[in-house]
Amino acid sequence: MAKQHDLGRIRNIGIAAHIDAGKTTLTERILFYTGALYKIGEVHDGAAHMDYMAEEQNHGITITSALTKARWGEHLIQIIDTPGHVDFTIEVERSMRVLDGCVIVLDAVRGVEPQTETVWRQRSKFSLPSLFFINKVDRLGADYDKSLRSIAKRLGALPVPVTIPLSEQHAVVHLIERQLIRFDGEHGEVLSAEPCPDATWAEMAEHHESLLMGIAESDEALADQILAGKEPEPETLWEALRAGCLSGQLCPCFGGSALRNLGVHPLLDGIVRLLPSPLDRPPTRGYLEDGSPTQVAMEDQGALAALVFKVQMWEGRRHVFARIYRGQLKPGDSVLHRSAAGAPVQEHVARMFDVDAAKKSRIDLAHAGDIVLLAGLRRAATGDTLYAPDQPPLLLERIDAREPVLSLAIEPASSADEEKFVEVLSKLQEEDPTLRFGEDPETGQRLISGMGELHLQIIVERLEREYSLSVRTGKPAVALRETILAEATRDLLFQPPIESSQKSAEMKARVKLRILPRPRGGGNLSVIEPRTLPEGHRLGEEQIAALRQGIEFALAGGPIEGAPLQDIETRIEEVEFFGASTSGEALSAATARALRKAIDAASPALLQPVMRTEVVVPDENLGTVLGDLQARHALIQDTAHETGQATIHCEIALAQLLGYTTVLRSMTQGRGQYSTLFERFDTA
């Protein structure tokens, strides 16, 4: 295990991309070339080292993020291979939260794709320095330059080319070292580097200028030298490029083909020379118990601070992945974290493991900067902060989970499995914060809700394979929301009759409130600044909490489908008190009833999940596919043509996309494909 003085030689990186761009194939090559694997496993054969789940092997995609380690020279690279499918975006989100840098993989034919944009936003949220690997340069229609332009146009980043692929020569030109690097041997493991021939270097002039001008934009000291036509030494260029990468100003780009064993070695050099060590990252922001911010520096000294970023059932037992930000951790140590209600929970770390995909090995000590697997924490959940019991409470920034957009009725095939069914789904919910398990209040049906059809399909497959639990499912149903389209004001006196048979206290409260629609995606806003009667009465914290509770209760289910309400501003304008009769319960009930009546009068409306969609089809099928999308009430935004293919950008309600994969394949003889990205909830 890396010790504290080795932190400068550690690289914690994620490999992320749109689905099918080649992330896992690239990771396999990295592991093979670094000696971590003796044999390359291919995704298309279901033999990839990092895709260890049966569902990943069967579907040929990455479903869960997997951690592995490799050594390159004197550096230790800790790698998380993340999923590319939008249904499993939480895996990318929580991985990015604990990493120091990332490699974003692009398909050289497609360039930046919808899920690439999602990954980029997730990366930007945590300000992770990034490299790009432009993959599949050997494919028909591949265009390295077009991919660079798509990075600048669609991501707003400044791409700087470092290696230029020459797929016909099975080589790359290294623009910093001025070398032509060839990749020979059965798996491209035999490298031969020579000074780039003059004729080839002349063809690289434009790319070389892009590299220098990019560096000049981020380094004023070199700008004058470069603009004067002087060539800095390679080591100077490396240092300037690294500084620009760490600051987020530059994104160094490497080209190659992972499947054809082309261009991966220079990327490995780029990872250790350009991406940050844990010591290069700014201190992590944390919060003390009173809410005041604090900085957590990456160091062994000091009290423990670690973040749980993933819960996983491993060999039937509950484990958690954690990144240590400060201090050290040993098996047997006691740690504290906060429950969902805010109460402190003390637990003991029973065992601690180093992880390589599906394999784990026990370790006795973990340092700041390490990512480890912990056993024995039965209640720690995704986003929880672990801290030492003898230290003040500390909270690191949590991990955001997105709301599910699709539901599926589900029940065990046998009533004898009812108890096991509930227990297993509770475990799966702990693993996956985007999965919900509940009951339809109207029909009483059990529902699982997730991020899409594939997400729910994988859950059902795991129930049957991992837990030997046969289930029956209904048809997928889109998760709805409700909102209002108009303003409304209601004034309500809550005074339920007192039943003579019961000795209940009188309750009485009056609330006047107004509601207004907010912009789509604006969320709910509550403003509790009322005029109080009798004059001079002041609201206490408990009374404000009761009013807020009433608002939350009323917004939990709308009048149309009982779906949660959103994008509503609630303003409590007046509250009247009636002595001891105005309890917290009375205030909450008065608020909830007044708000429900206001919602009924404010033109309530259903909201459906709207997806930003990209459909790629052969040119000859464009008319048919466009007609079908328009019949599904899609809002067509743009259509682009290139190399015999058409790309349609549109917005469409998720309900219209259920089963669309089969329809699209039928219309295009299996050659069409589409990808989606949740945009917002909106009226149909």
- Distance, CA of 166 to CA of 175 (rounded, Å): 13
Find the helix packing angle between 89-98 and 114-125, rounded to 10°. 30
Please tell me the least confidently modeled range out of 38-47, 544-553, 615-624: 38-47
| DSSP H or E run through 201 | helix 198-203
The more confident residue out of 221 and 557 is 557
In which band, very low, low, confident or very high, does the pLDDT at 145 lie, cut at 50, 70 and 90?
very high
Which residue is it, tokens 């029940």? 411
User: Mean pLDDT, to the nearest integer, of 599-611?
Assistant: 94
Digit-coded pLDDT (tens) for 496-537: 887 655 556 788 999 999 999 999 888 999 999 999 998 888
Q: Which of 71, 63, 76, 54 is nearest to 24 (CA)?
A: 63
Q: Which CATH architecture has domain 482-602?
A: 2-Layer Sandwich (3.30)
User: Mean pLDDT, to the nearest integer, of 165-172?
Assistant: 92
DSSP string, 451-473: SSHHHHHHHHHHHHHHH---EEE
User: Mean pLDDT, to the nearest integer, of 278-285?
Assistant: 90
Kindly report the number of other CB atoms within 10 A of residue 10's CB atom. Answer: 21
Query: What single letter denotes the amino acid at residue 68?
Result: T
Is residue 107 classed as helix, strand or coil in its secondary structure? strand
- Distance, CA of 248 to CA of 455 (rounded, Å): 33
Please give the DSSP secondary-structure letter assigned to residue 497: P
Query: What single letter denotes the amino acid at residue 499?
Result: E
Residues of the chain with pLDDT > 70: what percent? Answer: 93
- Topology of domain 7-274, per CATH? Rossmann fold (3.40.50)
Phi then psi dihedrals of residue 619, to 5 deg: -55, -40
Which residue is it, tokens 């052969």? 618
Q: Report whether pLDDT(3) > 60.
A: no
Per the document, the length of the chain is: 684
404 is written with which tokens?
């599910």
Whole-number pLDDT of residue 92:
81
Q: Are strands 394-396 and 284-288 parallel, antiparallel or unpaired?
A: antiparallel
- Distance, CA of 466 to CA of 265 (rounded, Å): 38
Cβ density class 282-297: b for 16+ within 10 Å, e for less: eebebeeeeeeeeebe
Q: Report whether pLDDT(50) > 80.
A: no
Q: Which of 633, 663, 636, 632 is nearest to 649 (CA)?
A: 636
In which band, very low, low, confident or very high, does the pLDDT at 46 lie, cut at 50, 70 and 90?
very low
User: Mean pLDDT, to the nearest integer, of 389-412?
Assistant: 85
User: Mean pLDDT, to the nearest integer, of 66-84?
Assistant: 84
Cβ pair 250, 156 in contact under 8 A: no
User: Mean pLDDT, to the nearest integer, of 252-260?
Assistant: 94
- Distance, CA of 25 to CA of 31 (rounded, Å): 10
Digit-coded pLDDT (tens) for 309-364: 888 887 778 889 899 999 999 999 999 998 877 788 999 999 999 887 667 889 99
Q: Are strands 101-107 and 130-135 parallel, antiparallel or unpaired?
A: parallel
- Distance, CA of 591 to CA of 610 (rounded, Å): 32
Residues of the chain with pLDDT > 90: what percent? Answer: 44
Q: Which of 545, 664, 573, 657 is nearest to 612 (CA)?
A: 657
Whole-number pLDDT of residue 315:
75
Digit-coded pLDDT (tens) for 438-494: 887 666 778 898 888 888 888 898 888 888 899 999 888 888 899 999 999 999 999
Please enumerate in sequence order all residues whose Cβ is within 8 A of that of 50, keeping only pairs 6 or more positions apart, or say none.
24, 27, 28, 62, 66, 68, 81, 357
Which CATH number is 607-683 given?
A: 3.30.70.240
- Distance, CA of 618 to CA of 108 (rounded, Å): 18
Whole-number pLDDT of residue 466:
84
User: Mean pLDDT, to the nearest integer, of 200-229?
Assistant: 87
- Distance, CA of 224 to CA of 136 (rounded, Å): 37
Which residue is it, tokens 């907010």? 518
HEC secondary structure over 561-588: CCCCECCEEEEEEEEECCHHHCCHHHHH
- Topology of domain 406-474, per CATH? Alpha-Beta Plaits (3.30.70)
234 is written with which tokens?
């390679």
Q: Report whether pLDDT(370) > 50.
A: yes
The more confident residue out of 66 and 15 is 15
Digit-coded pLDDT (tens) for 609-646: 998 898 988 899 999 999 999 999 999 999 988 777 88
Domain ranges of the chain: 7-274, 284-396, 406-474, 482-602, 607-683
Matching CATH topology for 406-474 and 607-683? yes
Whole-number pLDDT of residue 119:
87
Q: Which of 263, 259, 280 is nearest to 101 (CA)?
A: 280
Q: Which of 420, 479, 484, 417 is nearest to 448 (CA)?
A: 479
Q: Are strands 568-576 and 509-517 parallel, antiparallel or unpaired?
A: antiparallel
Any idea what the Cα angle at residue 41 is, between residues 168 and 60, rounded to 5°?
Answer: 95
Query: What single letter denotes the amino acid at residue 343?
Result: A
Q: Report whether pLDDT(7) > 50.
A: yes
Which CATH number is 284-396 given?
A: 2.40.30.10
Cβ pair 144, 114 in contact under 8 A: no
Long-range (24+ apart) CB contacts under 8 A made by 279-287 are 279/7, 279/8, 280/100, 280/246, 281/100, 284/325, 284/396, 284/397, 285/396, 285/397, 286/385, 286/394, 286/395, 286/396, 286/397, 287/394, 287/395, 287/396
CA–CA distance from 208 to each of 147, 524, 582, 593 (Å)? 17, 51, 75, 68
